Amino acid sequence: EIHALKSQEKKNLKQQVQVAIEKCHLEKVEGKLLGNLSKGFRQRVGIAQAIVFDPEIIIFDEPTNGLDPDAIVEIRNLTRELGKERTVLFSSHILSEVELMCDDITIIRDGKIAKTGTLEEVQNSYEIGKVINAQLLKWTSEVQSKLSSHFDIQALEVKEIKLEGDSTHLEIKMGQAFDRQKKAELSKFFIEHDCGLLFFEERKPHLEDIFHLTASQKEHN
């Protein structure tokens, strides 16, 4: 039996199971067969089994993989709750989830640690420039050509997404040479070329940007 394998007192097992059920919000499926539960609830049952003996460290490997959006939010919230009481090691290839969930980040590539630190430290560790998000009412091939000639095309990587209402969202990755002055010139360019600038914001690079950079740096070494 599980309590024997874990060397736990049988008299405490029922109470510990109940605590795990409450922490994982499993009350409404208590007593049901595991095979009859949704994947989200099966994930929660797995987490409950992991915490029933109150470990100091819990390891999650792709806990949100294959879940629907509602279940992802539920597992995300549960993970945060558990992280307040103990150490949670969260392993995932979905780097946007890592950004939302983790206080400390370790990027591993080819079995070696490429970068480690807090999220802010990792974001600031590479001179890869910032990212500009802009929304424009007018974005034509002619304006794009002028942008390429006005700025060094090697210093910009532009990703465009068409939005409703014929507006365009631009994600512009600025090269290392782009400073505050260049950013001001970029916003001025959109205004002077009558692009109908609706939104212009600078953000720090995402973990995906940094992960790709670790690959390019490895190739250059």
For the chain, where are the alpha helices, taking DSSP H only? 2-5, 10-23, 39-51, 69-83, 95-101, 119-124, 141-150, 180-192, 207-220
β partners of residue 133: 171, 201
Task: Say how far apart CA 45 and CA 21 lie, in whole Å.
Answer: 8
5 falls in which pLDDT band (50, 70, 90)?
Answer: very low
209 falls in which pLDDT band (50, 70, 90)?
Answer: confident
What is this structure's pTM?
Answer: 0.61
Residue 185 has pLDDT above 60, yes or no: yes
Q: Residues, the chain, total?
A: 221
Please give the pLDDT value at position 202. Answer: 81
Residue 76 has pLDDT above 70, yes or no: yes
Q: Return the H-helix or E-strand segment holding 174.
A: strand 168-174
> With contact defined as beta carbons under 8 Å apart, do 91 and 58 qualify?
no
| Closest-CA residue to 208 (of 133, 96, 104, 60) | 96
